Amino acid sequence: MIIADSNALAKVKCLVCGEIFAEGSLVCPVCGAGADQFAPVAPDDASYRNDTRELFLIVGAGIAGVSAAKAIRERNHTCSITIINGEESLPYNRPMLTKNLFGQSIADQFVIFDEQWYIDNNITLVSDQRAAAIDTVGRIITLESGARLMYDKCVLALGARNFVPPIPGANLANVFGIRTQADARRVRNACEGATRAVIIGGGVLGIETASEMVKRNMDVTIVETAPRLLAGKIAPRASDMLAEILRGAGANLYLGAQAREIAGDSRATAVRLESGAELPADIVIISTGIRANISVAKSAGLAADRGIAVDAHMKTSAPRVYACGDCASFDGFSYGLWAEAAAMGDAAGANAAGDAVIYKRPPAPITISAFGTVLFAVGDSSSDSAKLYRTVELRDPQRRALESYHFLDDRLVGATLLGDVSKTRFALDAVGARVKYNEIINNILN
């Protein structure tokens, strides 16, 4: 067995999604951010080593599960590691599904690691199989196929699924959510010959999907319940400018609007709004958030709220069982973001292997590259009307660019960059350090 040396090449970190990869790439393989958004990172310090004959079983092969497997193998060269992969393909960069919806072969282009990496690291990937039950006393996972697998330590990395609001018609044939490669494939097929798309939900995924469809000259309408796009997540002025950019590119926006019903017999033909408006549709995308996959864990008696409850070591309430990524909740919360899932997976794997790694929640910026513009927002977006913010904004209407900085008690608490994200690193560091108002003013005016 060759233990792939993850530290052999110089590494950079994408400041937008947190992905760490070998220096030299022009774009981030996960979120597509450009090289000006990368920062060099020091090699991992996985000096802990404990070679054993233990059986490690990881359920779920997203970034959390794969990160856990990697962290275990870096610390234990002789144990057995098996990942139950609920999907058919090699684990892949999920965020690319909507960023490159009509890309040729997502499966080949966006794998996290190629097949050889699993062979070199002696990690067994059991694909197209799902866990049905966990016996935490007997330490056995039963698959839906009936197969039973024993473990010494188990890592649950079950991810999340799309939330589908109870709208009549949501189950019609040409109504989709996008969570997996199979979903993306179905959407691509359904777009053949379709001209009118209605997207319910104007969050990041909805906007990215709309952008990809507009590029194909489709007539796209976004229906969003909130009065603004990405309300509460980006500066209000950035939200208004973003809406203008989308409209300028040809997208129709219904903000502050509720979808009441998806009309059609077997196939959707229109989305009806509470206002009475009827939006004709050949395809409908529902993009209204996620729910953690917790049912297998709950049935086994593990403590769970919105996600499987974990402590700072990613331990669940059951002995020898860890959880990480979108299925887990730390401090009662999960952002549902790539960087967070990767960091949780690292910590879960390291601790399952016997190391003592404390999970530190990474910053959770919002980022979009769609409709010919780019957006980055981090921290408090100044949307809480109960707080007295001081806001400084630099606008360049010609370039449709905005820098927006929000302060509370003289300290920087949030920033949004639109149209030009070259100050991403500055904004991220300054919000993290809660830099004083005067220092920010001096910096942005010079």
Q: What is the DSSP letter of 304?
A: B
Binding residues with ligand FAD: total (CB under 6 A): 34
Q: Does 351 bind ligand FAD (CB under 6 A)?
A: no
What does the DSSP assignment read for 176-192? Answer: E--SSHHHHHHHHHHHT
Q: Does 376 bind ligand FAD (CB under 6 A)?
A: no
Which token pair is 8? 């052999």
Q: Does 313 bind ligand FAD (CB under 6 A)?
A: no
**Which x/- pattern over 90-129 shows residues binding ligand FAD (rule: CB under 6 A)?**
----xx-xx-------------------------------
Contacts for 406 with CB less than 8 Å, ≥ 6 apart: 235, 379, 380, 381, 382, 389, 390, 391, 412, 413, 414, 415
**Region near ligand FAD per CB under 6 A, out of 6-14, 80-88, 380-388, 426-434:** 80-88
Q: Does 361 bind ligand FAD (CB under 6 A)?
A: no
Q: Does 158 bind ligand FAD (CB under 6 A)?
A: yes
Q: Does 210 bind ligand FAD (CB under 6 A)?
A: no
The answer to whether the beta carbons of residues 290 and 160 sit under 8 Å apart is: yes
Cα separation, 233 vs 224, in Å, equals 14
Q: Does 428 bind ligand FAD (CB under 6 A)?
A: no
Least Å from the CB of residue 343 to ligand FAD:
11
Cα separation, 194 vs 176, in Å, equals 14
The secondary element (H helix, E strand) that includes residue 253 is: strand 252-255
Q: Does 338 bind ligand FAD (CB under 6 A)?
A: yes
C-beta atoms surrounding 168 within 10 Å: 12
* CB nearer ligand FAD, residue 134 or residue 270: 134
Binder among 28, 31, 190, 297 for ligand FAD (CB under 6 A): 31
Binder among 57, 155, 341, 374 for ligand FAD (CB under 6 A): 341
List C-alpha distances in Å: 204 to 217, 288, 368: 20, 10, 7
The residue whose two tokens read 């006393």 is 137
Q: Does 71 bind ligand FAD (CB under 6 A)?
A: no
- Helix or strand or coil: residue 427? helix
The answer to whether the beta carbons of residues 173 and 267 sit under 8 Å apart is: yes
At residue 360's C-alpha, the angle toward residues 231 and 344, to 5°, is 85
Q: Does 205 bind ligand FAD (CB under 6 A)?
A: yes
Cα separation, 370 vs 388, in Å, equals 32
Q: Does 374 bind ligand FAD (CB under 6 A)?
A: no
Least Å from the CB of residue 64 to ligand FAD:
3
**Region near ligand FAD per CB under 6 A, out of 47-55, 89-97, 258-266, 406-414:** 89-97
Q: How many CA atoms lie within 13 A of 162 on its CB side?
A: 20
* CB nearer ligand FAD, residue 157 or residue 421: 157
Q: Angle formed by the axes of helices 204-215 and 236-248, to 10°?
A: 20
* CB nearer ligand FAD, residue 76 or residue 369: 369
**Region near ligand FAD per CB under 6 A, out of 45-53, 158-166, 225-233, 315-323:** 158-166
Q: Does 160 bind ligand FAD (CB under 6 A)?
A: yes
Q: Angle formed by the axes of helices 63-75 and 338-352, to 10°?
A: 30
Least Å from the CB of residue 369 to ligand FAD:
9
List C-alpha distances in Å: 437 to 210, 213, 412: 37, 41, 6
412 burial (CB, 10 Å; 0-12 / 13-18 / 19+) is: buried
Least Å from the CB of residue 150 to ligand FAD:
16
**Region near ligand FAD per CB under 6 A, out of 33-41, 195-203, 216-224, 331-339:** 331-339
Q: Does 314 bind ligand FAD (CB under 6 A)?
A: no
* CB nearer ligand FAD, residue 161 or residue 423: 161
Q: Does 29 bind ligand FAD (CB under 6 A)?
A: no
**Region near ligand FAD per CB under 6 A, out of 79-87, 164-172, 300-308, 411-419:** 79-87
**Which x/- pattern over 165-184 shows residues binding ligand FAD (rule: CB under 6 A)?**
-------------xx-----
Which token pair is 357? 């790694």
Q: Are strands 55-59 and 80-85 parallel, antiparallel or unpaired?
A: parallel
Q: Does 159 bind ligand FAD (CB under 6 A)?
A: yes
Q: How far is residue 351 CA from its own chain's centroid?
A: 23
Least Å from the CB of residue 77 to ligand FAD:
24
The answer to whether the beta carbons of residues 151 and 140 sit under 8 Å apart is: yes
Least Å from the CB of residue 16 to ligand FAD:
8
Binding site for ligand FAD (CB under 6 A): 17, 31, 59-65, 84, 86-87, 94-95, 97-98, 130-131, 157-160, 178-179, 205, 293, 296, 325-326, 336-339, 341
